Amino acid sequence: TYDNGALGLGATLTATALGVLPPSITDDHAHYFVGTRVLVKDQTDPVENGIYEITDTGTGEEVTEIITVADVANSLDGTYWTFHDGTTAFYVWYDTPAGAGDPAPGGTGIMVAIATAASAEDVKNATISAINASGALVVAYDDEFATFYVVNNNVITATDATAATSGFTVTVFIDGVGVGTAWILTRTSDADNSPSNEVSGGLFTFIEDGATLAGTGWILIEPSGDAVIGTDPLVFSIISSAGIDALPLAGGTM
């Protein structure tokens, strides 16, 4: 379950298309990206169930928290810290009017411009803005790298890699299109009752991606006739999977 902008809390998702992008809203270890078709079948309010498509990944902070210190007489000029997303090494460095320049320790640099004597809050906000603007955290990667990790927890300088008393620490990184952001789901054009009667008992879909549900089929069992989207609860039941009992047979009728 996760918090998504279109449906509110409690949507349990099962992807119906393959993908290799953001793992941060995975359910059943499936993958999601814009254009993925999703079977929403376990909403707290079943009126919201149905077949959706991810139409927007939303926005949000990529950096969930940073504890900073203020600049004192350009003390942060040329300092840097590093992080890694599982494939790429980044370093975030600070540029003040003193002009020490890029320390170039290796990797992909992200410059944060700050004023002389910038407050700790200003340094924090400038850092978050610079990282978010760079797009460094919005990359293609597998589930193992859903969380970015910091190589060194304290800001350092090119000449002093042991400045652990600075008090400047980065605590948590999460993929910028992942946890805490709004994934916008829109009912698919072929299952939104436009034209009418697209959604009715017997509507079915097959799941292609997921650790446990891939290869399963699901059918709409309630209502049995035409559904009124936004009014009728939509109940899906599994219809096909290896080694399970699916729909009951009663008098020749499934």
Beta strand 13-15 pairing with 37-40: antiparallel
Stretch (H or E) spanning 80: strand 80-84
Dist CA 249 CA 246 (whole Å): 9
Alpha-carbon torsion (160, 164, 168, 173), positive or negative: positive
Rounded (to 5) percent helix, strand, coil in the chain: 10, 30, 60
pLDDT for 112-135, tens place per residue? 999 999 988 898 889 888 887 876
Quick one: which of 82, 127, 131, 140 has its CA closest to 106? 82
pLDDT for 187-225, tens place per residue? 888 888 888 888 999 998 888 776 677 788 889 999 999
pLDDT for 60-89, tens place per residue? 445 656 777 788 888 888 888 877 655 677
